[in-house]
Chain A
Amino acid sequence: MDILRIIFSINTFTAAIRLVVPIALAAVGGAFSERAGVINIGLEGMILTGAFAAAVGSFFSGSAYLGLLAALGAGFILGLIFSFFTVDLEADHVVAGVGINILALGFTTWLMQVIWGQKGASPSVNGLARIRIPILADIPLFGDLFGYHSPIVYLMFIIVIAGWYLMFKTPLGLRIRFTGEHPEAADTLGINIRFIKYFSVTLSGVLAALGGAYLSLGHLNWFSSNMSAGRGYMALAANIFGQWNPLGGFAASMLFAFTDAVQMRLQGMNLNIASEFIQMLPYVLTVIVLAGAVIRSRPPAALGNHYKSNK
């Protein structure tokens, strides 16, 4: 029973809120990209690039907020590049995504050696100071959970809700969903398919990079090689499990993050279970969830296809 009490303690939930940030942000980005019809395996590389750009920006300017800005800029550029390849050049989405991931890994590992002359990790940089929300923080339980976090955590909550609103309650969101379902019909109605796809994919780049910035400026305050560590792929799974809906994607990300938090807590205890099996938890859960979820879910109809307007 002690184990259960530790697993479901407030600390585990608070840790889960911290761990969910990069996955949830990338999952919201993935929802936009895939709703517009573009499979985005490149989320992993976009998170990594964001983490790197944030650390570099903060290192050279001394300001974590300029680092954050650098990450957003890097995500924007990488998103544009990925749009260019998948939309204009009609590259296979999955192959191009893998290319982006390998490119991001190569670039960040190479540049960190060029800039800092070391391969494992960057020097410490100024991270984003945590914010204490005045009244919220004083409420018992609730305050412990939500009262004292990095600004990116609060930003994430806003983005998840705003993303849901944008996708399901605005004309632009309708156009995005229409583009991914039936590009021919959307085109006939005068929707600019190319713009919609560029917008959605670039947005996914910016959001994934913001998630990456949290890794190097919030979660830790340095960059380390291959820091994204598969979170982009988990975000993809969360997005599918969440039915291509930002709110659903957040809930699924939370499930992964919570499992990860439990895994970390259990590792700290001297249990009679091998640490390897505890570490496996999030991955096994992802597979189970995915195998169970996809039976009931349907991706956007034109996902992965190319479409060229005749106009």
Chain B
Amino acid sequence: MLFNKKIKELLYSLVAIISALIIGALLIKLSGHSVLEAYYYLFYGAFGSSYNLSQTLFKTIPLIFAGLAVAVGFQSGLFNIGGEGQLYWGAFATALVAISFTNLPALILIPLALVAGAAAGALWALIPGVLKAKTGAHEVITTIMFNYIGILMTTFLLKNYFKEAGPVDQTPKIAEQAKLPEIVANTRLTWALFIAIFVIIIVYYLLNYTSFGYDLQLVGENTNAAEYSGVNADKVIINAMLLSGGIAGLTGSTMVLGVLHRFITNFSPGYGFTGIAVAVLGRNKPLGVLAAAFLFGALESGGMSMQLFAKIPADLMTIVQGLVILFVAAPSIFKIFNKKSLALRGDN
């Protein structure tokens, strides 16, 4: 039965993606471009060569972290939209460690920098978590506000205390040994991919094989029922926010160690928000997030090549992402075409 449900969910997701791409095709057609050409470059840009595939994987990495962060929140019934602020703090803390301790060997410096980033992200998520647990302030609004505050605060700290001389608001470069090695030369695809997969495995284990993960999902399904069975929901909410924020922080950490090699203001193109779409599409499961992040990575790197060669703005892929979320949120949309199930729907 469970297996059946999973297959069904997978099928729904595929139908949602295909439907979104079909609407995207209509829009391309309406704007006077060739759909065939556009989608050729979309797929070529995403998977067409080993370089293009590396670019897709490269774009997948931050989405894995950002999506996983949102998914962990959702599992416990929390909607952490604050990934953006958390990942800025993660990037900032990681950069500081990797700039400061230049004498440490890579084997110590890289883990230390990652831990610092995760801790910073977790702390930034802690405040909305505590507010939610203690006052009931809705985390959707507080985490959004904390995005603005977090970005402004890191910008302030950078400009006033850690800025490299020059016109750009950025820190100096991190220590040479702190840079993550590339998997494929000259592609920017680094060991960050392995870190991302490692974190997915940890979260998978936490959610499925520990009492921590069990409590988390129990609170997510029904807070009252969880409290009756002796779970301290406030504590679980705070822990879930810590975990979610920590993973979001790693989005920024791996960007700094793998790609930017320093902290730069406004470096994120909104990973925290795309993470929401990734989590929703991945149905808040670690492996689902992996697949969804890969799909969105493909849409982004494919979208770039579509923009470059077919002259269609890559923002079309944002539309496709929005549609995918809407369709996945409302699986019954596809039942409309199935009269039998429509007749059965009255019992809800």
B contact residues, range: 35 or more
With A230-B148, A291-B142 already in contact, 13 other A-B pairs whose C-beta atoms are closer than 8 Å: A85-B329, A96-B326, A98-B277, A98-B280, A100-B322, A106-B320, A274-B160, A283-B145, A283-B149, A284-B145, A287-B137, A287-B145, A290-B138
Q: Which residue of A lies closest to B151 (CB)?
A: A276
Q: B117-133 interface mask toward A, CB cutoff 8 Å, 1 = contact, 0 = none?
A: 00000000000000100
Question: Which one of A95, A109, A230, A233 contacts B329 once the chains associate, using CB atoms below 8 Å?
Answer: A95
Query: Which residue of chain B has the shortest Cβ distance to A88 in the bound complex?
Result: B332
Task: Name the segment of B40-48, B106-114, B208-216, B310-318 touching the other chain.
Answer: B310-318
Q: Which residues of A contact B160 (CB under 8 A)?
A: 274
Which of A85, A103, A284 has the most C-beta atoms of chain B within 10 angstroms of its own C-beta? A103
Q: How far is the CA of A113 from the CA of B81 in the complex (A)?
A: 28
Q: Mark B131-154, 1 if CB is under 8 A from A, else 0.
A: 100011110111011101100110
With beta carbons under 8 angstroms apart, the residue of B142, B276, B315, B322 that contacts A287 is B142
Contacting pair A295 B145 (CB below 8 A): no
User: Please, which residue of chain B has its CB at the minimum distance from the CB of A232?
Assistant: B144
A90 beta carbon closer than 8 Å to chain B:
yes
Task: Tell yes or no: A165 within 8 A of B by CB.
Answer: no
Chain B residues whose C-beta falls within 8 Å of the C-beta of A132 in the assembled complex: none
Residue of B nearest to A103 (CB): B322
- B325 close to chain A: CB less than 8 A: yes
Contact of B315 among A106, A236, A240 (CB under 8 A): A106
- Check: B4 CB closer than 8 A to any chain A CB: no
User: Are A276 and B152 in contact, CB atoms less than 8 angstroms apart?
Assistant: yes
Interface mask (A263-288 → B, CB under 8 Å = 1, otherwise 0): 00000000000101101100110110
Specify which chain A residues have a CB less than 8 angstroms from the CB of B280 in the assembled complex. 95, 98-99
Residue A306 at the B interface, CB < 8 A?
Answer: yes
CB of B333 within 8 Å of the partner chain: yes
C-alpha spacing A233/B81, complex, angstroms: 11
> Considering the complex, which residues of chain B in the window 256-288 have a beta carbon less than 8 Å from any beta carbon of chain A?
273, 276-277, 280
Which residues from B are CB-within-8-Å of A98? 81, 276-277, 280, 325
CB contacts (< 8 Å) of A92 on chain B: these are 329
Interface residues of B in 17-53 (CB under 8 A from A): 27, 31
Q: How far is the CB of A50 from chain B (nearest CB, A)?
A: 17
Interchain CB contact under 8 A, B332 and A89:
yes
Q: Is A94 an interface residue (CB 8 A)?
A: yes
Subset of 8 A-B contacts with CB under 8 Å: A90-B348, A103-B325, A109-B315, A113-B315, A240-B141, A283-B146, A287-B131, A291-B135
Bound together, the chains give a CA A236 to CA B138 distance in angstroms of 10
B142 and A106 within 8 A (CB): no
Inter-chain contact A287/B329, CB cutoff 8 Å: no
- Is B138 touching A102 in the complex (CB atoms < 8 A)? no
Chain B contacts of A41 at CB under 8 A?
A: 140
Q: Which residues of A sit under 8 angstroms from B144, Cβ to Cβ?
A: 230, 233
**Does residue B79 face the partner (Cβ distance < 8 Å to A)?**
yes
Residues of chain A contacted by B320 (CB below 8 angstroms): 106
Query: What residues of B have a CB within 8 angstroms of the CB of A290 in the complex?
Result: 131, 137-138, 141-142
Find out whether the CB atom of A102 lies under 8 angstroms from the CB atom of B322.
Answer: yes
Chain B residues near A291 (CB-CB < 8 A): 131, 135, 137, 142
Q: Flag whether A8 is at the interface (Cβ < 8 A).
A: no
Q: Which residues of A are found within 8 Å of B276, using beta-carbon distances?
A: 98, 102
Chain A residues whose CB sits within 8 angstroms of the CB of B315 once the complex forms: 106, 109-110, 113
A276 and B154 CA atoms in complex are apart in Å by 9
A91 interface residue per 8 A CB criterion: yes
- For the complex, give the distance between the alpha carbons of A110 and B348 in Å: 38
CB atoms of A94 and B332 under 8 A apart? no
State which of A102, A109, A119, A292 has its C-beta within 8 Å of the C-beta of B135: A292
Q: A237 at the A/B interface (Cβ < 8 Å)?
A: yes
* B contact residues around A85 at 8 Å (CB): 326, 329-330, 333
Q: Say whether B241 faces chain A, with CB atoms less than 8 Å apart.
A: no
Contact B346 A310 (CB under 8 A): yes
Contact (A306, B348) CB under 8 Å given A284-B149, A290-B142: yes
B323 on the A face (CB < 8 A): yes
Within 8 A of B (CB), among A201-222: none
CB-CB < 8 A to B27: which residues of A?
Answer: 110
Residue of B nearest to A241 (CB): B141
Chain A residues with Cβ below 8 Å from B81 are 98
A308 within 8 A of B: yes
Q: Determine whether B155 belongs to the interface, using a CB cutoff of 8 Å to chain A.
A: yes
The answer to whether B319 touches A94 (Cβ under 8 A) is no
Alpha-carbon separation in the docked complex, A236 to B145 (Å) = 12
Does B205 lie at the interface of the complex (its beta carbon under 8 Å from any beta carbon of A)? no
A237-B141, A287-B146, A290-B141 known; A96 vs B330 contact (CB < 8 Å): yes
In the assembled complex, which residues on chain A have CB atoms less than 8 Å from the CB atom of B323? 99, 103
A52 CB, min distance to chain B CBs, angstroms: 13
Bound Cα distance from A191 to B149, whole angstroms: 44
Q: Counting CB contacts under 8 A, is A105 at the interface?
A: yes
Annotate A283-305 by CB proximity to B: 1 below 8 A, 0 otherwise: 11011001110110000000000
Is B194's CB within 8 Å of the partner chain A? no
In contact, A294 and B138 (Cβ under 8 angstroms): yes
